[in-house]
Structures are given as C-alpha cells and as structure tokens.
C-alpha cells in the first residue's frame, strides 16, 4: 500500500458553542455561516463579534475556519454582499465557500487574499467544470453529491495536483440535485437556494383524485412507507480508505443545524477513523466495529452510501420515514469546575441525581459516572432540573474536564 495523504476533516458549526465542540473533538477545519448569504438561515449562525472570536478559538488550536456565502444571489443581494465581504476581509477566515459566479467575482475582487472554495451547490460533476473554477482563482471545489468514487478518482487525475477536492462523507442528503431544490419556494414561498428551506422533502404526502375532493389516499410504497421525497442520511465511516484512495483532500460533515452532541460524536468518530486508516488497513479493520457503533449513537436517519458506489435507487438514497433514530441524549457541556469539585453545565435535557451518565472524551473514550449531587444556580440541592437551558452544578463520581460533553442512553 502506498502511503496515504492525510485528508482534512471539515466539521459544521451552527453556533459558537458548537464551534468550540467541533474544534475540541477533532476537526481540522470548521465551516460556519454568518447572519447573511448562508444556506442555513434557520441555524443560529454568527454575528461579526462571534465570528471573530470563533476564528481566534479555532486558530489557537491550529484549526482552520471557513465561512459560507453560498446562496444563489438575486440582484438585490449584490450590493449588500460587497459590504459583507469587506467585513470578512478584515476578519480573515481561512476560506469562503461560494456557489454563485457573481458572488465569486465579488469575493475575488474585494478580498483576494482569502481563498475561495466552490460549493456543492454549483453542481460540479466533471473535470472541465473543476478546471474552469480553478482558472477563475478557486483553491478548492466541492463535488456534486451525485458523483461516484470512480468519477472522483478520474477527476483527481485530470486536474492539477495542487488543486483541492472536497466531498461530503456524512449527514443529511437532499432529494434534489446537489441541493438545488424548488419545493420549498413552491409550497411556502421560502427559497431553499437563499437559505430558507422548510424541508418539504421530509413531509408525508397523499394522493388526491379530482372527482373526489377532500378525500386523501395514501401513497403505497410497501414496507418503506409513504415519504416519497425523503432521503436517507449519508454515512461513509465504513469506507474511509476508499475515500482516501480516490484522492479526496477534505472530508466534509453535513449539519450546521445539528446539536453539539451530534457534532462531537460525528467529528470524533471520523477523526479516529481517519487516524486508524492512516496507520494501516489492518488497524482500520480492527476498529471498524467500534466506528460503526459510534456512528449510530448520534441522531440519524437510516444510513446510505449515497451515490459513491453507483446510483443507489430505491434501496439507497430515498424512500425512508423521516423519523430520526436517537442513540444518546445530550445533557450538557462542562463549562467550568469550581474549587469544590462541582462541574457547571447549561442543562440541555432532563436527568436526575443518582443517574448513571457518560463523560464523552475527545480521545474516543466514554467514562461512565454517577451523578452524586445536583445544585441549581442558587446553590440549592435538587434532585433534578425540570427545564432545559437551566444552569446546574454537578458533583460526579469522576472529575470531568472543561469542554467535555455529558450524555445518557435511553432518554
């Protein structure tokens, strides 16, 4: 086996807290959205000061930070985008992720020192398109999600060696071609391509016959249900060596609207998977069972390998219920430890004194501990906190570290 190149692990963050989690749990780079021009308008996203702090936090850990500006812009967007790119020029992220040629040209003119990565929304499916973007000054192109590994390997051989290829390896898939969907705009007036998708592909649909108004007939699709537009989630944790051998430079995780627990679990799993595969094929195979198990502890829909091994058909990308499978429940992140050994968290889900929970450590270990004592923000001893977003202090049977996440099974 020839020595494999280490790919970048690129992890999403929809808020400052999740950005810190992504950095702490193994990301080489993190991508975020600002308050404008991002395709995840419903994510919390980052204002200017949060973005500046996020860049500083990432860089202090040797991690890169990319900013998405990948809407398909209308004419009215362009003048505002000029001011936005001026702000980004001052902030200095490591790259901008852009799909629209007009936005691309603005970014290259206003902040030429910041590399540009071409988004999957640009639907790049052949080496000619890749070379076109590289000729315009792009450093990296994100593959359309419809490409196979064989096609990606062919593109890699046909483009300059110093130009980068990025591919999605995990997360939600879109029924439309590389995410360019019109359903949301049609049904609700909210445009997916401008960041306001209402996810109509996840809705349940019925048939209606014109002579029987008001009578709704189920769409029959045998045991797979009636969610006719609904995609499975992508998961390539079992195929990391093949992804490396295809020449992919950056492994991208989807999920800028996902929780801190999701981001931590997926980032940690792929971090370990990449490290195992770099060590040797034998090391990777030895740990494959653990990788599979870990990939199913986050919230997910049934998994697929997407288009990587050919057109997936009805047994691959689509036709599954929209219900998530939940493996673990997020309890909170350790904010600090006080002099008395209590850990402070902002509670995300309810649990009780006496419960057995897990400290999820960035190195891959999970430490089972018992909640010995709980106190509320006023210092009063409590058996549980009934509401999310409450500050509580915990004394655990083993001391956690700041930044580590707490989780519990079966909630």
Q: Please write the tens of the pLDDT for every residue from 101-120.
A: 999 999 999 999 999 999 99
pLDDT at position 2 is: 61
Exposed, middle or buried: residue 406 (CB in 10 Å: 0-12, 13-18, 19+)?
buried
What's the CA gap between 124 and 119, in Å, rounded?
Answer: 9
Q: Looking at the structure, do residues 239 and 364 belong to the same domain, yes or no?
A: no
Instruction: Give 323's pLDDT tier (boundaries 50, 70, 90).
Output: low
> According to DSSP H, which parts of 161-259 are helical?
183-188, 240-245
Q: Is residue 114 part of a domain?
A: yes
Q: Is residue 357 predicted with pLDDT exceeding 80?
A: yes
Does a structural domain hold residue 211?
A: no
Looking at per-residue confidence, does 216 or 18 come out higher? 18
Average pLDDT of the segment spanning 199-219: 74
- CATH code, domain carrying 154: 3.20.20.70
- What domain range is 340 assigned to? 329-408
For the stretch 50-69, pLDDT in tens is 999 999 999 999 999 999 99
319, pLDDT greater than 70: no
pLDDT at residue number 297:
84
The residue out of 258, 293, 315 marking a domain boundary is: 315
368 and 308 housed in the same domain: no
- Judge whether residue 293 has pLDDT over 80: yes
Q: How confident is the model at residue 227 (pLDDT cuts 50, 70, 90)?
A: low
Residue 220 lies in a domain: no
pLDDT at residue 44 in the model: 59
- State the total domains in the chain: 2
* pLDDT at residue number 314: 47
- Last-in-domain residue among 248, 282, 315: 315
Same domain, 267 and 389: no
Q: How confident is the model at residue 304 (pLDDT cuts 50, 70, 90)?
A: confident
Strand pairing of 233-235 and 303-304? parallel
Same domain (yes/no): 36, 167: yes
Residue 13 within any structural domain of the chain: yes
Q: Yes or no: say if 66 and 95 are a contact pair by the CB < 8 Å rule.
A: yes
Mean pLDDT of 348-377: 94
Whichever domain contains 351, its CATH number is 2.40.30.10
């Amino acid at each position: 086996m020839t020595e494999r190149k280490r790919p970048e692990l690129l992890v999403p963050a929809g808020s400052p807290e999740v950005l810190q989690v992504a950095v702490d749990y193994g990301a080489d780079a993190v991508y975020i959205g600002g308050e404008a021009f991002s395709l995840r308008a419903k994510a919390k996203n980052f204002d200017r000061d949060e973005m500046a702090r996020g860049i500083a936090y990432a860089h202090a850990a040797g991690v890169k930070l990319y900013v998405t500006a990948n809407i398909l812009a209308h004419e009215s967007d362009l003048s505002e985008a000029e001011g936005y790119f001026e702000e980004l020029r001052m902030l200095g992220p490591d790259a901008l992720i852009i799909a629209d040629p007009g936005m691309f040209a603005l970014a290259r003119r206003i902040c030429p020192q910041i590399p540009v990565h071409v988004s999957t929304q640009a639907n790049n499916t052949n080496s000619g398109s890749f070379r076109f973007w590289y000729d315009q000054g792009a450093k990296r192109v994100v593959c359309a999600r419809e490409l196979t590994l064989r096609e990606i390997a062919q593109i890699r051989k046909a483009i300059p060696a110093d130009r980068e290829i990025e591919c999605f390896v995990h997360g939600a898939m879109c029924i439309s071609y590389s995410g360019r969907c019109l359903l949301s705009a049609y049904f609700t007036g909210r445009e997916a391509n401008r960041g306001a998708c209402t996810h109509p592909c996840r809705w349940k649909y019925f048939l209606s016959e014109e002579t029987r108004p008001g009578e709704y007939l189920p769409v029959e699709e045998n045991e797979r249900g009636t969610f006719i537009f609904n995609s499975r989630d992508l998961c390539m944790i079992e195929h990391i060596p093949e992804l490396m051998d295809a020449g992919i430079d950056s492994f991208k995780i989807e999920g800028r609207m996902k929780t801190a627990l999701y981001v931590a679990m997926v980032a940690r799993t792929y971090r370990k998977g990449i490290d195992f595969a770099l060590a040797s094929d034998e090391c990777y195979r030895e740990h494959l069972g653990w990788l599979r198990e870990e990939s199913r502890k986050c919230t997910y829909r049934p998994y697929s390998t997407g288009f990587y091994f050919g057109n997936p058909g009805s047994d691959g990308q689509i036709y599954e219920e929209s219900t998530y499978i939940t493996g673990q429940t997020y309890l909170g992140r350790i904010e600090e430890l006080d002099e008395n050994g209590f850990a402070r968290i902002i509670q995300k889900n309810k649990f009780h004194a006496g419960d057995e929970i897990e400290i999820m450590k960035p190195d891959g270990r999970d430490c089972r501990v018992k909640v010995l004592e709980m106190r509320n923000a006023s210092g009063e001893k409590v058996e549980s906190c009934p509401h999310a977003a409450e500050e509580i202090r915990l004394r655990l049977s083993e001391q956690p570290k700041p930044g580590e996440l707490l989780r519990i099974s079966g909630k």
